[in-house]
A = this chain, B = another copy of it.
Amino acid sequence: MKLSDAETPRLLLDPDRLQRNIDMMTARCGKLGVILRPHLKTPKSLKVAQMTTPDTSAPITVSTLREADYFAQGGYTGILCAAATTPAKLAHADKIQRETGARVLLVADDADLVNAADARAGEMGAKFEFLIEIDCGEHRSGVQPASQELLNVARALKNASNLQLTGVMTHAGHSYTTNKADEHTAIAENERAAAADSADALRAAGHDCAIVSIGSTPTVLNARHLDGVTEARAGVYLFGDLAQVSLNTRALEDIAVSVLASVIGHNTAGKSLVLDAGALALSKDISANTFMPDAKYGYVCDVETGRHFPGLSVHSAYQEHGVVPVPDECWFERLPIGSQVRVLPNHTCMTCAAYDTYDVVRGGEIVEQWPRVNGW
């Protein structure tokens, strides 16, 4: 189907840019000497997983059990579910493991949770492997690196009958608070050291720690080295977005997804275009705007070339309307009602979550549709 015949809004995917992003991060992790465990919370798509991780026994990351279920049903067997679990979630994790034979690695940062999870696992006759989450400076979750608390959680796992300690993981989410490469490098070193020092502390206390997992797109791209780390998790690099551009970690030309939208109004008095892509089609996430205030709810681009129309972004996002101020009236001739544009996402994970399908585009045509999984 030609783009011009397509009903809007819809989510477009450029497979060549995606492939370049995959190749870039694969090479980067190879150079750093770590396994890439891509975070598939960004694409939530089996087709994308098959591009980034063709070997279904290689490791992947997800953020929900629905994603874990979906990728396990798709053949993946080494799945880290990278948000702390609860006893009530174990039945689902067990079902995935039993039905598919996949190993679902779970996360905990609390000894009481470990004890409760062990009891629940015992009731179900299930076994689970855990990574302990470390706080490397974001102060969202996790135990302090190489701390007594870390050893307490490890001891609880050792004492558990149905659980096993497999390693540690941390995420430098605070890498998103700066757009300076040297600060990304410093945060990457904190992230690396937090994980590696914690692994050392566990081993010194007699625990196994096979997996030492770190990651965020800005830190993996800016780390000097990853000594002591076994694997890196990153996800946003797959598609890129204005937030990554604002952090100087990706370029506009790397962004692999965009929202195809139509002009549905000309506000000649207010000098703005109205698009049929609003808050639901673009999301209300404005992460990029800290360092790139003109990102707004997304850059408005030429539908054919994909190039940003300088100065044009979605300033207001209503449920199904996006408003794009224009500098002069020539834009009303250039973009008549019914014409199409592409909008580059502010934060790709949030924008993509509104869609069940990627429309894969080559040469101005939608050549394939790839499903994605949403919800919980």
Contact surface of A with B, Cβ cutoff 8 Å: 4-10, 41, 63-65, 83-89, 91-92, 109-110, 112-113, 116, 139-141, 144, 173, 262-267, 269-270, 274, 276, 279-281, 283-286, 316, 318-321, 323, 336-338, 349-350, 353-356, 374-376
Question: How far is A276 from B349 in the complex, measured between Cα atoms in Å?
Answer: 17
Question: A110 and B266: CB pair below 8 A?
Answer: yes
Residues of B within 8 A of A109 (CB): 265
Instruction: Considering the complex, give the chain B residue whose CB is closest to the CB of A280.
Output: B353
- Chain A interface mostly: loop
**In the assembled complex, how far is the CB of residue A144 from the closest CB belonging to chain B, in whole angstroms?**
8
Question: B276 and A8: CB pair below 8 A?
Answer: no
Question: B112 and A336: CB pair below 8 A?
Answer: yes
Question: How far is A336 from B64 in the complex, measured between Cα atoms in Å?
Answer: 21
Question: B85 and A141: CB pair below 8 A?
Answer: no
Residues of B within 8 A of A319 (CB): 41, 63, 349-350
Question: A63 and B337: CB pair below 8 A?
Answer: no
Question: A264 and B83: CB pair below 8 A?
Answer: yes
Given contacts A376-B7, A376-B281, contact A88 B338 (CB under 8 A): yes
Residues of B within 8 A of A336 (CB): 112
Residues of B within 8 A of A266 (CB): 110
Q: Which of B7, B265, B356 contacts A141 (CB 8 A)?
A: B265
Instruction: Considering the complex, give the chain B residue whose CB is closest to the CB of A83.
Output: B320
Question: How far is A92 from B337 in the complex, measured between Cα atoms in Å?
Answer: 18
Question: A7 and B88: CB pair below 8 A?
Answer: yes
Residues of B within 8 A of A116 (CB): 337-338
Q: Which of B88, B267, B281 contacts A139 (CB 8 A)?
A: B267
23 pairs across A/B with beta carbons < 8 Å? A4-B88, A7-B376, A8-B88, A10-B376, A41-B319, A63-B320, A64-B320, A86-B262, A87-B338, A88-B338, A110-B337, A112-B337, A113-B337, A116-B337, A139-B267, A140-B267, A140-B270, A140-B274, A140-B323, A283-B283, A319-B350, A353-B354, A356-B374
Q: Which of B64, B264, B281 contacts A86 (CB 8 A)?
A: B264
Q: Which of B86, B320, B338 contacts A337 (CB 8 A)?
A: B86
By Cβ-Cβ distance, the 9 closest A-B pairs, closest first, are A84-B264, A141-B265, A86-B338, A284-B284, A63-B320, A284-B285, A113-B337, A86-B262, A139-B270
Instruction: Considering the complex, give the chain B residue whose CB is closest to the CB of A82.
Output: B320
Question: B264 and A85: CB pair below 8 A?
Answer: yes
**In the assembled complex, how far is the CB of residue A285 from the closest CB belonging to chain B, in whole angstroms?**
5
Instruction: Considering the complex, give the chain B residue whose CB is closest to the CB of A269.
Output: B139
Question: B8 and A274: CB pair below 8 A?
Answer: no
Residues of B within 8 A of A279 (CB): 285, 350
If A84-B274, A110-B266 are given as contacts, then 12 extra A-B residue pairs at C-beta distance below 8 Å, sorted by A number, are: A5-B88, A7-B88, A7-B376, A8-B376, A41-B320, A83-B276, A88-B338, A110-B337, A140-B270, A140-B323, A279-B350, A280-B350
